[in-house]
Amino acid sequence: MAKNASTADGWDEEYRAGRWSFLRDLPESGRYGIIGMWLSLTETLDSVLDIGCGEGLLYERLQPMGIKRYVGVDLAPAALNIANVDPDLASLRAGDLHTFTPEEGETFSAIVFNEVLHFSDDPAAAVARYVPFLAPGGVIAVSMYSPKRLESGANRLISRLWEATDGVEWDVLDDYRLTSDKKNVTWRLRLVRPAI
């Protein structure tokens, strides 16, 4: 398995080469469906911040569900150039998950971390950093690839994030282990809201 890029230039090269085009495949749709239904059922489709948005695939899935405003952030400008979004609803911004800051006074009803927190040494701190950008009643949705090897670095990161969001500062609204038998891949997904 090829190692992921670590710089914007490396990610640009991978997107231009089509390495991530498989994310449009049907077996990838389950996690997008769960996230979409979470946001619909919690009535948080008003304003969505998608950290690590890549080509804007989450926007494509949320658009028919009635999303009102979407901000996608990704390290790779090439991915943002591939994205097909309605500029009246969506804004795409180049940025890093650790340093991105919304515009002055900008808040979101939902913040989504879809397969991006593996690029953080401390995903719990990364998620906590975004809490001030949530509108009242807002939610945070997380999806992370979970390798078969339980002691993998990815699974250790998931465990640390789940442990942090099990604390009194958070309300866990839903928690999934999703397995695609077609791809033989498992993801962990969690929907949380800061406790009042």
pLDDT tens column, 34-79 = 999 999 999 999 999 999 999 999 999 999 999 999 999 999 898 8
Structure tokens at 135: 């509108």
More confident residue, 139 or 4: 139
pLDDT tens column, 9-30 = 776 787 677 766 767 777 778 9
113, β-bridge pairs: 51, 142
Annotate 51-68 with b (16+ C-beta within 10 A) or e (fewer). Answer: bbbbbbbbbebbbeeebe
Amino acid 21: pLDDT: 73
Structure tokens at 16: 């231009």
* Strand ranges across the sheet with 134-145: 90-94, 70-74, 48-51, 108-114, 134-145, 185-194, 170-180
Is the pLDDT at 170 greater than 80? The verdict is yes
In angstroms, the CA 113 to CA 97 distance is 9
CB-based contact 154:147 (threshold 8 Å)? yes
What does residue 81 show for φ and ψ, rounded to 5 degrees? -70, -25
This prediction's pTM: 0.91
Domains of the chain with bracketed CATH: 8-194 (3.40.50.150)
pLDDT tens column, 108-125 = 999 999 999 999 999 999
Longest CA pairwise span in the chain (Å):
45
Give the pLDDT band of residue 96 (cuts 50, 70, 90): very high
Is the pLDDT at 3 greater than 70? The verdict is no
In angstroms, the CA 152 to CA 20 distance is 22
Is the pLDDT at 184 greater than 60? The verdict is yes
Amino acid 5: pLDDT: 66
In angstroms, the CA 107 to CA 57 distance is 21
In angstroms, the CA 190 to CA 34 distance is 10
